[in-house]
Amino acid sequence: MSFDSRSLPGFIDEEKIESVIAATAKPDAVRVREILAKAREAKGLDAEETATLLQLDNEELDAELFATAKKVKQTIYGNRLVLFAPLYITNECYNRCAYCGFNATNSDLKRRTLSEDEIRAEVEVLERLGHKRLLLVYGEHPRLDADWMARTIQVVYDTVSEKSGEIRRVNINCAPQTVDGFRKLHDVGIGTYQCFQETYHKATYDKAHLGGPKKDYLWRLYAMHRAMEAGIDDVGMGPLLGLYDYRFEILALMQHAADLEKHFGVGPHTISFPRLEPALNADMAFNPPHPLTDSQFKRMVAVLRLAVPYTGLILSTRENAAMRRELLELGVSQISAGSRTYPGAYSDPSYDRPDVQQFCVGDSRSLDEVIAELVSLGYLPSWCTACYRLGRTGEHFMELAKKGFIQEFCHPNALLTFNEYLHDYASESTREAGRKLIEKEAAGCPENRRELVASRLQRIDGGERDLYI
Ligand code: SAM
Ligand code: SF4
């Protein structure tokens, strides 16, 4: 079956979602504890269980939920945390999303599409900071098609410097493509294709998307299906929180994941949960119709960790440093750091101003500052790209992940990439603290890995790079 069509039926059952939310509105403590007991087995949750936990309104049960999420996160992911940076390639856009500073009617925004040389300059700056994984972000414009995007991705991969290294995984966040367009992106070796539905609630979607091709809800809803049809098996999805009831969005996201599983045998590789931030000339960003409180947000992240234990949870710098610290414990497994949300802003600091960025960044610390804090909190920063480069993606990755593979492969690879970071990019104080962490973590590796890890770490100390298992 092909999903390359504009007349597909959709699969979000709004009535069913509303009725599950209504039926679980007053969570009973006995039922909540049963669900938490099941969640500890890390096999995921169904819609009724997820809705029940999302509607907790009791501090004691919240504390139990948080403790369970921390435990599941620790068991599956350990203390690893994957780092990446967004790279904005263009802010030209002919859509009219009422919440985004890039919307076509914002005539105060200076439009910029990076040339190949400008992309190289941005990548060189990011490489000098130590980044190995980038998320390329694009507005939508007829001139900037899949062929052009594929070329920009190739430019990023080709920007290799003997001194500061190379980008090893390029993920992208761009408008939905046709299957043929996705194939072009797949052919240049993208990692994850990321696209947020923004809201799964059709009436709200229609109000938030006032013009341009993004108005077509169903075309966007089937974007991941088309990406998978084209061979891209790592996809990243998420709602834009604040547009509609977050409980509805999470349950709809689960229906989305289930439909992908039904057709392709695998759900999303990652989930993101951006909250609306103020953005230049974007009314809806200043007055979100359904704002989410911090405690609802934290509960939602903990519930997601339990509902989809093996799916990566991504947190951007939209949130401030304090909130990011809390969410790391509750389930987040990937974060961006040192982000700029205007094309060209890494190499030209004059663009590093809130009035031109896509939205206001809540955490503006540098990568090294973020790493120093992560180390002080006992997290192990990782730039590992081994799975993607060895073809361990999609269904294959999920199967391995469920067999404890993360501890045997991901943890050693995190140590190797962190050692590279300390040698090549870290400040003196971060290097010193990081070395101690590596020593401790290497000693604690599973026995069957200890020797291998020690010898690889030594090879990196001796100048070799890009070692992985
Ligand atoms: N143009 C593509 C699209 O819309 O899918 C990709 C780029 S768009 C800049 C990436 C994401 O930014 C959107 O999917 C949306 O979720 C998010 N975004 C837009 N405006 C935002 C705001 N004011 N605050 C937080 N996130 C926002
Ligand atoms: Fe354009 Fe994406 Fe912003 Fe909408 S969210 S205006 S499509 S860049």
Q: What is the pLDDT of residues 12-32, one digit of tens each?
A: 999 999 999 999 998 999 999
* 300 and 411 within one domain: no
Domain annotation covers residue 335 = yes
Q: Which residues line ligand 2 (CB under 6 A)?
A: 93, 95, 97, 100, 102-103, 139-140, 214
Q: Which ligand is nearest to the CA of 209?
A: 2
Task: Using most ligand atoms within 8 A of CB, pick from 93, 107, 272, 316 the residue to mutate for ligand 2.
Answer: 93
- Between 460 and 162, whose confidence is greater? 460
More confident residue, 95 or 390: 95
Residue nearest to atom 6 of ligand 2 (CA): 103
Q: What angle do CA 44, 49, 52 make, to 5 degrees?
A: 140
Single-letter code of the amino acid located at 414: A
When pLDDT is cut at 50, 70 and 90, the band that residue 449 belongs to is confident
CATH assignment at residue 252? 3.20.20.70
Could you give the percent of the chain with pLDDT greater than 90?
83
Give, to the nearest 10 degrees, the angle between helix 428-443 and helix 447-461: 150
Check if the beta carbon of residue 252 is closer than 8 Å to that of residue 216: no
Question: 372 in a domain, yes or no?
Answer: yes
User: Which residue segment(s) compose the domain that 442 sits in?
Assistant: 404-461
What are the phi and psi torsion angles at 64 (to 5°)? -70, -40
Over residues 203-213, the pLDDT tens digits come to 999 999 999 99
Alpha carbon of 175 to ligand 2 centroid (Å)? 8
Residues 430 and 355 in one domain: no
Between 110 and 12, the more confident residue is 12
Looking at ligand 2, which atom is closest to the CA of residue 94?
Answer: 1
Q: Which range has the worst mean pLDDT, 314-328, 340-354, 441-455?
A: 340-354
Q: What is the pLDDT of residue 363?
A: 83
Longest dimension (CA), the chain: 61
pLDDT of residue 354: 64
This model of the complex carries an ipTM of 0.99
Residue 190 belongs to some domain of the structure: yes
- Asked if 190 and 213 sit in the same domain, the reply is yes
Radius of gyration of the chain (CA): 21
Domain boundary among 377, 398, 419: 398
Query: How high is the pLDDT of residue 66?
Result: 98
Q: How many domains does the chain have?
A: 2
The ligand that comes nearest to the alpha carbon of residue 94 is 2
Stated length of the chain: 469
Tokens of 170: 């390029």
Residues 298, 163: one domain? Answer: yes
Q: How far is the CA of 154 from the centre of ligand 2 (A)?
A: 23
Give the DSSP H or E segment for 193.
strand 193-194
121 and 250 share a domain?
yes
Q: Does the pLDDT of residue 356 top 80, yes or no?
A: no
CA–centroid distance, 186 to ligand 2, in Å, is 22
Q: What is the pLDDT at residue 403?
A: 66
* 456 in the same domain as 327: no
Here the tokens at position 178 are 């046709």
Instruction: Give the mean model confidence (pLDDT) for residues 250-258.
Output: 98
Query: Would you state the pLDDT for residue 204?
Result: 98
Residues 94-100 have a mean pLDDT of 97
- Least confident interval from 156-160, 283-287, 299-303: 283-287
Kindly state whether residues 306 and 421 are assigned to the same domain. Answer: no
Residues at CB less than 6 angstroms from ligand 1: 99-100, 102, 137-140, 173-175, 195-196, 198, 240, 274, 276-277, 279, 282, 285, 318, 358-359
Same domain, 289 and 421: no
Pick 406 or 240 by higher pLDDT: 240
In this structure, are 289 and 344 located in the same domain?
A: yes
Cα–Cα distance, 113 to 90 (Å, whole number): 4
Mean pLDDT of 206-224: 98
Identify whether the C-beta of residue 146 lies closer than 8 Å to the C-beta of residue 185: yes
What mean pLDDT is predicted for residues 323-350?
A: 92
- Residue 176 above 80 pLDDT? yes
Residue 313 sits in the same domain as residue 174? yes
Mutate to test the pocket of ligand 2, among 95, 111, 137, 194 (most ligand atoms within 8 A of CB): 95
Residues 347 and 199 in one domain: yes
pLDDT higher than threshold 70 for residue 358: no
Quickly state the pLDDT bin for 284 (edges 50, 70, 90). Answer: very high
Q: Look at residues 398, 423, 453 and tell me which one is the last residue of a structural domain.
A: 398
Query: What is the tens place of the pLDDT at every residue in 400-421?
Result: 777 667 778 889 999 999 999 9
The residue among 398, 423, 440 that closes a domain is 398
- What's the pLDDT score for residue 249? 98
Whether 444 shows a pLDDT value over 90: the answer reads: no
d(CA 87, CA 110): 17
* Section 310-319 average pLDDT: 92
CA angle, 128 then 132 then 135, to 5°: 110
Are residues 423 and 384 part of one domain? no
Query: Which atom of ligand 1 lies closest to the CA of 195?
Result: 5
Point out the ligand nearest to the CA of residue 109: 2
Give 165: exposed, middle or buried? Use CB within 10 Å, 0-12, 13-18, 19+. buried
Rounded to the nearest angstrom, the distance between the alpha carbon of 118 and the centre of ligand 1 is 22
Q: How much is the pLDDT for 431?
A: 98
pLDDT in tens, 116-147: 999 999 999 999 999 999 999 999 999 999 99
Mean pLDDT of the chain: 94
Judge contact between 413 and 386, C-beta under 8 A: yes
Q: How confident is the model at residue 394 (pLDDT cuts 50, 70, 90)?
A: confident
Whether the pLDDT of residue 345 is over 70: the answer is yes
